[in-house]
Structure 1
Amino acid sequence: MSRRRRRAPPVPAALRWTDGVLARLVEAVAKGVGRLPPATADRLGRGLGALAYRCLGRRRAIALQNLAIAFGDRAPGELRDLARRSFQHLGVTAAECCRLFFGPPGLLLGRVQVEGLPHLKAAMAQERGALLLSAHFGNWELLAAAHVLTGYPLSVVIRPLDSPALEAVLARCREGVGLQLIPKREALRGVVTALARGGMVGVLLDQNATLHEGVFVPFFGRLASTSKGLALLAQKTGAPVVPVLIRREPDGTHRVTVDPPVPLQQSGDREADVLANTAAFTRIIERHVLAHPEQWFWVHRRWKTRPPDEG
């Protein structure tokens, strides 16, 4: 006898109303920021990021704790400065996203340069699609939108926001720049379908995973639970895994870096291969973060899940 899926309890009308009002307010503010001159929007974003560093004590503490793990040999003052700059980077990124989704079409994409595109074209020539390895680094929403510069369709697996109204706004924005969204609950079927159609599927592999979902691999010298989904998808589909990341340059432009496909371990030992390949993916992300640490998402508890045998 199959187990019935438990239905979520109904959301009270008052909460739905509040959620809708908040979403409309956020969208209105985003549209306003999106119409500002680029320099003004960037200054606003940087200022709001600095304010967030001062006011959001819990997130500031998480960022400082993470930075101490990654760069424990640096002085406390240097870590605080790096955390502050990472908050400012997130503020500028938020302002850029407003311009991306609500500003003049294509304006921000005109400030994106792509290097290494032949690596992607060679991978796509295998006619298996491509799995794109990426991270919450640089302006990752702009990176997703920049897929139009490659000429190939892009699908992304998304975890819906807790706010249905805000999720609807964000989904419209992402679809508006040409993304195909795959809900996490339908990930396997959606990814296989997208690859079979000759598309690309983006996977951000730098977030904490649960014990069930992840494997422990080194990240900045400490074991981090990392989703094994990308390694499993590569095993199942045979699609090449191509690292694609974006970074903001000092002049305000953006550079997309496409690396050669990752050589995958295929020993026949499924679990060992998943572990080795996930570790290889994580080393690539670490290399990019190490080069431009202020552009990574330090406010996330990356090392939250710990190995069961860790004291």
Structure 2
Amino acid sequence: MLDPARLLLAGWHLAGRLPEDLVRGVMHVAAEVTWLRRTEGVRRLERNLARARPEADGAELRRLGRAGMRTYLRYYGEAFTLGRLTPEQVSARVRAEGAEPVRAETDAGRSVVLALAHQGNWDLAGAWATVHLAPVTTVAERLEPAEVFEEFVRLREGIGLTIIPLDAGREVFRDLVRAVRAGGALVPLLADRDLTSRGIEVELLGETARVAAGPAALSASTGSLLVPTTIRHERLRGARRRAAGARWGIVIRFHPPIRPEAGVARSVQVARLTEQWVAALSRDIAEDPTHWHMLQKVFVADLDPDRLARQR
């Protein structure tokens, strides 16, 4: 039987030698086939999207799931070819909203923590941000096999990002604090899914979910601004499409910054900061759920009760 991870790696190497339009077309077909097969990931995506559209019937949820799989596989197609884009193409493919407060902080030599979800193309967003805003430092979940993880690290370091591997026993949080305190950095963290036993339970789309404490804890520990950041794909037209060399780009939405409260316990700061950035994420997902690529369990009602009890 073919190993999906090895197949992904082989496809990545092949995609690097193919025209970008062909890669996008292949990933579109892959999305359609995956959706039609009704894999566990597709069904989980649709169950997650149902929280954003509680009134939707089965047909509507399947439509959302199909659109969601297209944007999810579009991300991979773009990742496979991201390393060969010119700076001009990266700039044309990205549009930013609300970046002024972030730029003011980094221009003043202060770092900013960004709380992100699995939306749009966060790698393309990082490639743009490290040129147009500030140097980017972030964390990467270690994948198996190691070759796949190393390929993602090479991609991200090749576009100018500094990567801290999420390794067992490594003082990742201490490394992040050091990066923030050095000043003038952007530290985006994907946090809509808890990968540890230290997650925070918070309301997401009207239901209790378990998210990562990292962005809020880092902001509370350093006093830096926390900025909820959402990303969507958008169709490109006219001169921008010609400059980008692609039909699709992204819009990065920097939501109003949140500053840690003074005079309250750190645990309270972390809880309140998390509630606020997740509320911004909830509004964005509810507006258009198909850009949220969440094929795993995040809602407490879906989690294993015994494991959840141990974590609590």
Q: Under a length normalisation based on structure 1, what TM-score does the superposition of the two structures give?
A: 0.83
Distance 1:99 1:38, change over 3 A: same
Check whether the contact 2:71–2:290 (CA below 8 A) recurs between aligned residues.
yes
Q: Equivalents in 2 of 1:90, 1:298: separation in Å?
A: 9
- Which residue of structure 1 lines up, in the alignment, with residue 158 of structure 2? 176
Deviation at 1:56, TM superposition (A): 5.2
Query: What stretches of structure 2 of length at least 5 have no aligned partner?
Result: 237-247
- Which residue of structure 2 lines up, in the alignment, with residue 161 of structure 1? 143
Deviation at 1:258, TM superposition (A): 2.1
Check whether the contact 1:139–1:247 (CA below 8 A) recurs between aligned residues.
yes
- Which residue of structure 2 lines up, in the alignment, with residue 135 of structure 1? 117
Name the SS of the counterpart of 2:270 in structure 1: helix
- Which residue of structure 2 lines up, in the alignment, with residue 228 of structure 1? 213
1:202-221 per-residue CA deviation (whole Å, 9 max, x = no partner) reads: 111211455x3112110011
Deviation at 1:273, TM superposition (A): 2.5
- Which residue of structure 1 lines up, in the alignment, with residue 192 of structure 2? 206
- Which residue of structure 2 lines up, in the alignment, with residue 8 of structure 1? none
1:76-124 per-residue CA deviation (whole Å, 9 max, x = no partner) reads: 10001100111111111111111103x3443344321223221111222
Distance 1:128 1:145, change over 3 A: same
Deviation at 1:145, TM superposition (A): 1.7
1:166-206 per-residue CA deviation (whole Å, 9 max, x = no partner) reads: 21122111111111011223312211221122212111121
Check whether the contact 2:49–2:289 (CA below 8 A) recurs between aligned residues.
no
Aligned length: 288
Distance 1:291 1:34, change over 3 A: farther
Q: Equivalents in 2 of 1:263, 1:234: separation in Å?
A: 8
1:136-191 per-residue CA deviation (whole Å, 9 max, x = no partner) reads: 10111211222233241101112211211221122111111111011223312211
Moved more, 250-259 or 76-85: 250-259
Deviation at 1:254, TM superposition (A): 1.7
* Aligned-partner residue type, residue 177 of structure 1: I
Name the SS of the counterpart of 2:264 in structure 1: coil
* Aligned-partner residue type, residue 300 of structure 1: Q
- Which residue of structure 2 lines up, in the alignment, with residue 282 of structure 1? 278
Identity rate, percent: 26
Query: What stretches of structure 1 of length at least 5 have no aligned partner?
Result: 1-17
- Which residue of structure 1 lines up, in the alignment, with residue 178 of structure 2? 193
Check whether the contact 2:118–2:294 (CA below 8 A) recurs between aligned residues.
no
- Is 1:249 the counterpart of 2:210 in the alignment? no
Distance 1:104 1:31, change over 3 A: farther
Deviation at 1:67, TM superposition (A): 2.2
Check whether the contact 1:117–1:150 (CA below 8 A) recurs between aligned residues.
no
- Which residue of structure 2 lines up, in the alignment, with residue 77 of structure 1? 59
> Rg bigger for which structure?
1
Distance 1:291 1:77, change over 3 A: same
Deviation at 1:36, TM superposition (A): 3.8
1:12-45 per-residue CA deviation (whole Å, 9 max, x = no partner) reads: xxxxxx99xx75x644532432444443332222
Q: Equivalents in 2 of 1:76, 1:178: separation in Å?
A: 43
Name the SS of the counterpart of 1:207 in structure 2: coil
Q: Under a length normalisation based on structure 2, what TM-score does the superposition of the two structures give?
A: 0.83
- Is 1:299 the counterpart of 2:295 in the alignment? yes
Check whether the contact 1:137–1:289 (CA below 8 A) recurs between aligned residues.
no
Deviation at 1:130, TM superposition (A): 1.0
Q: Equivalents in 2 of 1:118, 1:245: separation in Å?
A: 15
Structural RMSD (CA): 2.5
Distance 1:152 1:250, change over 3 A: same
Check whether the contact 2:52–2:289 (CA below 8 A) recurs between aligned residues.
no
Name the SS of the counterpart of 1:242 in structure 2: strand
